[in-house]
Structure 1
Amino acid sequence: MAEVVLHAYLRWGHEAVERMEGNFAFAVWDARTDELLLGRDRVGIKPLSYALLPHGVVFASEVAALAAHPLVTPEIDDNGLCALVTQLRSPGRGALRGVYEVPAGGTVRFTRDREIHRRYWTLEARPHTLGREDTLKQIRELLVDAISRDLRGLDPAVLLSGGLDSSALTGLIASNSGKPPRTFTVMFGDTAAAVPDRPFAEEVVQMWGCEHHEVAVRPQELSDPVLLSSVLAAKDHPSPFGDKNITPFIFSRRVAERVPVVLSGEAADAIFSGLSGATDGVREPSMFPWIARARGFGMEYGIGTGLFDEALLRSVDVAGYLDRLYREAKAEVPQLAGTAAVDRVAREVDYLHVTRLLEQTVYHSERLGAAAGLQIRFPIADHRLVSYLYNVPWQLKRFDGREKSLLRAIAKDLVPPSVLTRAKVPYPITYDAHYKASLVTRLRMLLDDSTAPVRPLIDLRRATEVIENHRLLDRGGWLGRADVEMVLQLDSWLRRLRVRVNL
């Protein structure tokens, strides 16, 4: 990668990024002009952060590396706490004060006296004139092209959940390459989700004759303190997703023992409007859709916020922060004049998911995989496909009244009928009693530690109630657990980066 970037830069200068493909983040120092160029891929799968110093700039793919620099003081203010709690940041802004991110599809160039930002790619609104069959044909061609780019020179391998996205990906590879991919499925046994992946994955494997591998994750592994530390380091930010972080890390580590690169069907929910829900084009959203859904479950600021001190969240104005970020994002949405209301709303919802939520899925998996020694590629997040689907009218995207209608139609001859009709389920989580007990133990230890950096930020009464009544962990299935996970991860993150809280 480094050699390719350097040759491209020598030939095309700072415009070389427009000719690059795939997922990347790079830095080029040009000693001829004393200029530094930072660049990031179009969708923002690879991370790249930087901090400005009085006499220069430091950059790294990990925020933790910046925080460790002797001239950087890791600190969070009101906005930083809001960013961490809500899992949302303005493009280009980091959670730590004075730390910035190269935006997806952007470059930042530093000269002797200037800082120059440039967007080389973004979503654009264009007319769509094709009917259903021609649209399906074009999407399938784009998918096949993206897969072939990601598999160039590699034996195919897929992370197969048995859901529509990964199953369709498996079928596309097998039908177009003439060679079924190796497939990998994670297993929990009887402690996983109510709808198991195994029988669906097995049907896909049998349909295409794949060499299949089941990767077992023991619930006891999820509480290993060394593993927990490794996962937090890999993620580089705290999150409320707990074993939804740990399991993919273990899974990736074991898959990496067999193959160096795999393809994933992640991003399909955002790209194929699988998260939009029903819309009639009249009820415009007034908040990020996933925050609005969380509020429907009584979580005003999003998942994982239930144990923070409510008075503190009001004082730093988390509600105002969310409203401000939503209005910023909404103002960015490219629209066509005269667009029907339903398509205008649909474009807005899709734009929000692609530009603000996607990093919680694809970015999440890429970081965990890379830290485990596995390169995960996401053909469905190819920028050509993203751009095309952004402009497909809503009626076509949900022509059969279901989510991801277009992908379902493409997959009709690629997956077993059971997969086509399978109800959508989240990534498998463990319901193991030992894991939940370990969360309570860790929370109790945190409350007993008067020096815990997260302690002043939480509602001690609510946290104590969770310790005294373990059933609160099961609120909403796993939402109560997410509150505890977020507090524990934030505390570990503040300690690890030696972050000063300055509210």
Structure 2
Amino acid sequence: MTGFAGLVSLDGRPYAERDLDGAITVLTALGADARGCWAGRTGAVAAAVASVVHCRVPEDDEDRQPWASAEAGTVVVADAVLTNRVELCRMLELRGAAAVPDSLLIAHAYTRWGADCCRRLRGDFAFAVVDGRRGGVLLARDHLGRRPLHLYQSAGWLGFGSTALAVAAMPQVPLEPDLDRAVEFLAVAQDTRRSWIRDVAPVPAASTIWITPERTQHRRYWSLDDTPRRSGSAAEHAEELRTAMDQAVRAHLRHRGGVGVMLSGGLDSTAVAATLAEQVAPARLRTYTSVPPAGWTESANGRDTDESSLVRLLAGAHPNLAPAFVDAVGAHAIDGDDAYFAAGGTPVRNTLNMMWVRAIHQRAVTDNVSILFTGGIGNLTFSRDEPRWLVDLARAGRLIEAWREAAAWSARRGWRETLVQGVLRPMLPGSMHRLIELRRGHRSTAAQWLAASPLRPHLATTALAARIAGGIDAYRRISGLGRFVDDNAQHAEVMATLDVRCRGRVVDPTADLALIELSARQPGWARRHRGRGRAAARASMAGRVPDGIRLRVVRGAQLPDWYDRITDRRDEIRDEFAAARVDPATQELMDLPRLDALIRDWPTPDQAGDPVVARDYTLLLPRALATSKYLRWLRHYATADRRSVAAPPPQARERASHFAP
């Protein structure tokens, strides 16, 4: 990713380029193909901005930001990979558009439309504009928060930057961990507005912040419309979804080297891979699939443990696919290292999955892959199921069709489950769901999540449980799509620093804005149809993805050999816990006796299939140790005074480049 940072004076004092030396040093860890700075006064605003460009797409070779325009009175820095370049260039009447970097497109778009340009941009972006004519600074973040942007505000000034760590490298910003954020993370609370560094806050997704000496104004420019459409047949909705997938893959296919796909046997990644294979044919398309090591034959609660046969089935339909199968033998169990953290990376929620993700990234780097496609969140977007489909039909007055759908579903699941899951549950509010769970003697879902948390008991408060329940309610409302839109923005630093790990770009067409907007408005009866879940996605891939995959209902297991992998790394886990138990922040947050018991009373292979054992050793223990590892690194980073490291030499920097609107 390209990183940028800036300082804005609210009391009139000037800034110099050297005031951003610390931030530039931190951002250089993301990759530094070019650097640029600007400092000065435009109107009533004194500011300094800097960018560290990392070339990811061909047009980045011409990126010379900051972009300054004397005519428009603006200075622009941006981290962006746009997906509607052709449309923007046409609207802006730009010549030689093929070589125009995305940051310069944003500069032109702001000159034409001001802050409303955000409504016209598509793709991943975060940017800042120093606007002398209007006398302020604008910060903006893309619709889904796919690019990170953070803000720190103090008396008389504020600072902003791509990563929280870069903001914390600015003068007078205290570099202290936000332990409340750690509590939220360990409890899997969904609605955080915090970063991992105290008082440094992420800019919300789909938002702008307008900063002047008089005020700081927040504005949301987009929200997801999930009002179901009433028109169209199931076949028409499936065709729309296929077209949206085609366009999403094509829009993200900007690369400087090899192309690859992280591929499982599931519908989403196979849909991405098959679509991509058709678009790049006859060129070779590398795929990477996580599998257990040769000879491993255990079961995983009815899930597929080895999806290599499905990948070969797909390769038979698309001969230009070149499958590679990767196991996680020898991978570190506890995620995070100095390079990842120094680039702004933070702990990953399902940290054990990073064992196989890192293994795939390393293999892709070896193969010189510069862009790695995934279908990571397709189950919330492209192939989203809809348990409210019967209610939607009834409310639309389509009672006969509702009866037919209920009959088709009950033939597979039975009438009791059909009525309870398809009618009663969708109509009840979240509070009623929780009451029913308690009356039946079940622990609430929020209580179960807290039980999977390593927090000390006194930190698992009623208020925290209520926040978790609120996130679960949001998930239920639209099958997780609404939660994704909010939650996605919180993990932008993780997603952005994955680019550093794989030395290229990781892109997910199932997170494309147009595809998400289409998915949100497709009626439930198109998503579940004729007794089949995920019906629209399955139908959309007819003739492209083999039926053995397209119509499959068995799910695959992620890291099914988890027990063997972490048992192989017991020495690493013991060492991490030994360091964690003497760390003050870890002592304050975590139930150390519980963690100690898990490590001391290691389960036998026969116990690994127990759901509580699997929860504790795949979620609770790795998440606790990865969090402690990051907090310890952050404490060492602060006390080692790494921010005083000299910035890159002056000759490596460029002044602002000028553009004519």
TM range (shorter): 0.7 to 0.9
1:232-282 Cα offsets, whole Å, 9 max, x none, are 556733344223124323422431442211322122111146476654233
Q: 1:62-141 alignment to 2 at 5 Å?
A: 62-75=163-176, 79-90=180-191, 92-128=193-229, 129-141=231-243
What's the counterpart of residue 245 of structure 2?
Answer: 143
Q: Residues of 2 paired with 1:268 and 1:485: CA distance?
A: 25
What's the counterpart of residue 616 of structure 2?
Answer: 480
2:627 to 484, 490, 494: 490
Question: CA separation of 1:491/1:361 partners in 2, compared to 1, >3 Å: closer, same or farther?
Answer: closer
- Segment of structure 1 superposing worse, 491-500 or 355-364: 355-364
Letter in 2 for 1:247: W
Query: Is residue 333–residue 566 contact of structure 2 (8 Å, CA) maintained in 1?
Result: no
What's the counterpart of residue 123 of structure 2?
Answer: 22
What's the counterpart of residue 340 of structure 1?
Answer: none
Q: Residues of 1 paired with 2:492 and 2:583: CA distance?
A: 35
3-state DSSP of counterpart to 2:128? strand
Query: Is residue 64–residue 497 contact of structure 1 (8 Å, CA) maintained in 2?
Result: no
Question: CA separation of 1:64/1:89 partners in 2, compared to 1, >3 Å: closer, same or farther?
Answer: farther
Q: Residues of 2 paired with 1:224 and 1:310: CA distance?
A: 24
Aligned residue-pair number: 477
1:56-77 Cα offsets, whole Å, 9 max, x none, are 2222222233334442224566
- Segment of structure 1 superposing worse, 115-124 or 214-223: 214-223
Question: CA separation of 1:223/1:205 partners in 2, compared to 1, >3 Å: closer, same or farther?
Answer: same
What's the counterpart of residue 307 of structure 1?
Answer: 454
Query: Is residue 442–residue 488 contact of structure 1 (8 Å, CA) maintained in 2?
Result: no
Question: CA separation of 1:495/1:67 partners in 2, compared to 1, >3 Å: closer, same or farther?
Answer: farther
- Segment of structure 1 superposing worse, 44-53 or 4-13: 4-13
The Cα of 1:159 is off from its aligned counterpart by 2.2
- Segment of structure 1 superposing worse, 69-78 or 116-125: 69-78
Letter in 2 for 1:258: N
Query: Is residue 158–residue 181 contact of structure 1 (8 Å, CA) maintained in 2?
Result: no
Question: CA separation of 1:355/1:483 partners in 2, compared to 1, >3 Å: closer, same or farther?
Answer: same
Question: CA separation of 1:446/1:497 partners in 2, compared to 1, >3 Å: closer, same or farther?
Answer: closer
Q: Residues of 2 paired with 1:261 and 1:60: CA distance?
A: 25
Structure 1: unaligned runs, 5 residues or longer = 331-344
Question: CA separation of 1:371/1:161 partners in 2, compared to 1, >3 Å: closer, same or farther?
Answer: same
C-alpha RMSD over aligned residues:
3.6
What's the counterpart of residue 272 of structure 2?
Answer: 169
Higher strand share: 2
The Cα of 1:484 is off from its aligned counterpart by 1.3
Q: Residues of 2 paired with 1:181 and 1:201: CA distance?
A: 15
What's the counterpart of residue 222 of structure 1?
Answer: 332
What's the counterpart of residue 315 of structure 2?
Answer: 205
1:100-134 Cα offsets, whole Å, 9 max, x none, are 22222222221222212222221124451111111
Query: Is residue 126–residue 147 contact of structure 2 (8 Å, CA) maintained in 1?
Result: yes
- Segment of structure 1 superposing worse, 414-423 or 234-243: 234-243
Q: Residues of 1 paired with 2:560 and 2:495: CA distance?
A: 15
Question: CA separation of 1:133/1:211 partners in 2, compared to 1, >3 Å: closer, same or farther?
Answer: closer
Q: Which has the larger radius of gyration?
A: 2
1:307-347 Cα offsets, whole Å, 9 max, x none, are 32112323x842243356678x69xxxxxxxxxxxxxx753
- Segment of structure 1 superposing worse, 28-37 or 41-50: 28-37
The Cα of 1:407 is off from its aligned counterpart by 0.9
What's the counterpart of residue 49 of structure 1?
Answer: 150
What's the counterpart of residue 410 of structure 1?
Answer: 540
Q: Residues of 1 paired with 2:334 and 2:468: CA distance?
A: 35
Q: Residues of 2 paired with 1:274 and 1:235: CA distance?
A: 31
TM-score by length of 2: 0.64
Letter in 2 for 1:413: G
Query: Is residue 267–residue 549 contact of structure 2 (8 Å, CA) maintained in 1?
Result: yes
Provide the identity percentage: 21
The Cα of 1:382 is off from its aligned counterpart by 1.6
Question: CA separation of 1:111/1:279 partners in 2, compared to 1, >3 Å: closer, same or farther?
Answer: farther
Question: CA separation of 1:74/1:80 partners in 2, compared to 1, >3 Å: closer, same or farther?
Answer: farther
Query: Is residue 228–residue 246 contact of structure 1 (8 Å, CA) maintained in 2?
Result: no
Q: Residues of 1 paired with 2:460 and 2:131: CA distance?
A: 45
- Segment of structure 1 superposing worse, 186-195 or 386-395: 186-195
Kindly indicate whether residue 555 of structure 2 is the aligned counterpart of residue 424 of structure 1.
Answer: yes
What's the counterpart of residue 350 of structure 2?
Answer: 241
What's the counterpart of residue 361 of structure 2?
Answer: 252
Q: Residues of 2 paired with 1:288 and 1:254: CA distance?
A: 45
Question: CA separation of 1:14/1:428 partners in 2, compared to 1, >3 Å: closer, same or farther?
Answer: same
Letter in 1 for 2:326: A
1:322 to 462, 468, 471: 468
What's the counterpart of residue 389 of structure 1?
Answer: 519
The Cα of 1:165 is off from its aligned counterpart by 0.9
Structure 2: unaligned runs, 5 residues or longer = 1-101, 388-420, 639-661
Q: Residues of 1 paired with 2:587 and 2:137: CA distance?
A: 40
What's the counterpart of residue 599 of structure 2?
Answer: 467
Q: Residues of 2 paired with 1:34 and 1:151: CA distance?
A: 38
Question: CA separation of 1:427/1:271 partners in 2, compared to 1, >3 Å: closer, same or farther?
Answer: same
Q: Residues of 1 paired with 2:171 and 2:190: CA distance?
A: 25
3-state DSSP of counterpart to 1:183? strand
Query: Is residue 106–residue 118 contact of structure 1 (8 Å, CA) maintained in 2?
Result: yes
What's the counterpart of residue 507 of structure 2?
Answer: 377
Q: 1:275-354 alignment to 2 at 5 Å?
A: 278-280=421-423, 281-286=426-431, 300=447, 302=449, 305-314=452-461, 317-323=463-469, 346-347=477-478, 349-354=479-484
Q: Residues of 2 paired with 1:174 and 1:450: CA distance?
A: 51
Letter in 1 for 2:556: V
3-state DSSP of counterpart to 1:45? coil
Query: Is residue 264–residue 307 contact of structure 2 (8 Å, CA) maintained in 1?
Result: yes
The Cα of 1:299 is off from its aligned counterpart by 7.0
Q: Residues of 2 paired with 1:196 and 1:359: CA distance?
A: 32
Q: Residues of 2 paired with 1:303 and 1:183: CA distance?
A: 40
What's the counterpart of residue 390 of structure 2?
Answer: none
Query: Is residue 307–residue 484 contact of structure 1 (8 Å, CA) maintained in 2?
Result: yes
Letter in 2 for 1:456: E
TM-score by length of 1: 0.82
Query: Is residue 49–residue 63 contact of structure 1 (8 Å, CA) maintained in 2?
Result: yes
